[in-house]
Amino acid sequence: MSSEETQLNLSQPSGGLNEFDPEIAAVLVDEYNRQTDKLEMIASENIVSPRVMEVVGSVLTNKYAEGYPKRRYYGGCKFVDVAEDLARERAKELFSAKWANVQPHSGSQANMGAYLALLDPFSGEDGKKVPIMGLHLNHGGHLTHGSPVNFSGRLFDVHAYTLDEKTGRIDMAEVARMAREIKPRLIVTGASAYPRFWDFDKFREIADEVGAYLLADIAHIAGQVAVKLHPDPIPVCHVVTTTTHKTLRGPRGGMILSSYEAGEIMLQGMPKPKTVPEAIDSYVFPGIQGGPLMHVIAGKAVAFKEALQPSFKTYIERVLENARVLADELMKRGFNLVSSGTDNHLMLVDLSNKGLTGKASEKALERSGITANKNMVPGDKQSPFVTSGVRLGTPALTTRGMGIDEMKQIAEWMDRALSDVEDKELHKSIRAEVKEMASGFPHFQEM
């Protein structure tokens, strides 16, 4: 079979899937059409390169490789060891870190591995849960930063800091006051819906004052951090976790980074203390995971190499420019944005002043060919299933090659679509306009 015959056709299922499983074949075609015909504006989503998809769908999916390179519990790992070593070395180069673990299956498992390595959850005073701090979910935080329905909220004594509802920004003086009162053992920074820069240096000052570890979850801003277009947490924080998709534009997965080589952590069942990176390695495997996903790890290695190219910084610059333009255009049309703008790839639109809910707005936008997600906003009086806001992001649109002219047009479409969230005929007409514009942009465009 020629190399041409083995290439993945992105628009049609390959390998006889149409004949064997037409239902799943239809899912692939329908999803491809959805991604190309509509505008993907969910801030946590992006579009990977054909190179990454080729690796993730490769023979590497067949290999079990419990352990780490040169220290596996299975034979036959010679070649997957090469892939994991490449992923680790490229991650360290990309983020200027001294250590990397690329095995977490997701950002949530990266956080779990880091938390449990750093802290015994029930080693607090009198056997109580250990106190930690993280940004409140309703103010832009993540489930794993202390939500009561998540492992983080169940295992730890969580104290959530919030945004100043007037400015939409983190009040660092209030964070410091809380930390002095609570004396957390871990302070978590990072968010899933915070549009502003993080002051990692100030957080480290607070952490050092109260004797806490500082962890940065940069899942959303990893691409910006990698190209130095966001303050860098690596030299400042004890541990940094991230996903490898979102702005980093790799396969779905997680990663943990650190340049902190000190520490003395005694893990249960271990004969001697470990440094922070050693302890985290032990907690990722065998602590919380079994065999790593070698096809995904190899895909991470490819994505990291892509992100090391000069063109990736150009891509991130365009992501940020598109976000600023979209934010400005929405505000011109009377939309309220939390913090009145954005420093990164996303924005959080508070629809309270327009008498709209996030749920109704998400559906109206979806009918109009614009995919976004409802989201809580600071001081939200709606339930998490309804919300008063929507979150928007520009990474996927920028990957397709869209720029400031398209952002201006999208703002106009959103304004029309949300002028009447029940007018399905209006939304149908916008949907046709969206499809026509989207047809002029490929699924993935090299910068």
* Tens of pLDDT, residues 236-277: 999 999 999 999 999 999 999 999 877 677 666 666 778 889
pLDDT of 196 strictly over 80: yes
Percent of the chain with pLDDT over 70: 95
Confidence of residue 223 (pLDDT cuts 50, 70, 90): very high
Domain with CATH 3.40.640.10 in the chain: 61-307
pLDDT of 2 strictly over 50: no
Confidence of residue 1 (pLDDT cuts 50, 70, 90): very low
Q: Are strands 157-161 and 186-189 parallel, antiparallel or unpaired?
A: unpaired
Per-residue pLDDT tens for 9-48? 544 545 689 999 999 999 999 999 999 999 999 999 999 9
Per-residue pLDDT tens for 274-314? 888 999 999 999 999 999 999 999 999 999 999 999 999 99
Q: Are 388 and 418 in contact (CB under 8 A)?
A: no
State residue 268's pLDDT score.
Answer: 67
Domain with CATH 3.90.1150.10 in the chain: 310-438
State residue 252's pLDDT score.
Answer: 97
For 61-307, the fitting CATH number among 3.40.640.10, 3.30.300.10, 3.10.129.10, 3.40.50.1110 is: 3.40.640.10
State residue 267's pLDDT score.
Answer: 67
Mean pLDDT of the region 159-167: 95
CA gap 246, 242 in Å, rounded? 10
pLDDT of 4 strictly over 50: no
Confidence of residue 446 (pLDDT cuts 50, 70, 90): confident
The mean predicted confidence, pLDDT, of the chain is: 94
Per-residue pLDDT tens for 101-139? 999 999 999 999 999 999 999 888 888 999 999 999 999
Q: Are 417 and 368 in contact (CB under 8 A)?
A: yes
Mean pLDDT of the region 198-222: 98
CA gap 289, 283 in Å, rounded? 8
State residue 125's pLDDT score.
Answer: 83
Residues catalogued as catalytic: 64, 66, 217, 243, 246, 252
State residue 270's pLDDT score.
Answer: 65
**Scanning the structure block, which residue is given the tokens 């090659």?**
401
Separation of CA 330 from chain center: 24
**Nearest residue to 338 via CA among 220, 163, 147:** 163
Mean pLDDT of the region 146-175: 96
What is the layout of strands, in order, in the sheet containing 99-101?
Answer: 99-101, 254-258, 239-243, 213-217, 186-189, 131-135, 157-161
State residue 3's pLDDT score.
Answer: 38
Separation of CA 26 from chain center: 28
pTM of structure: 0.94
Please name the fold of domain 310-438.
Answer: Aspartate Aminotransferase, domain 1 (3.90.1150)
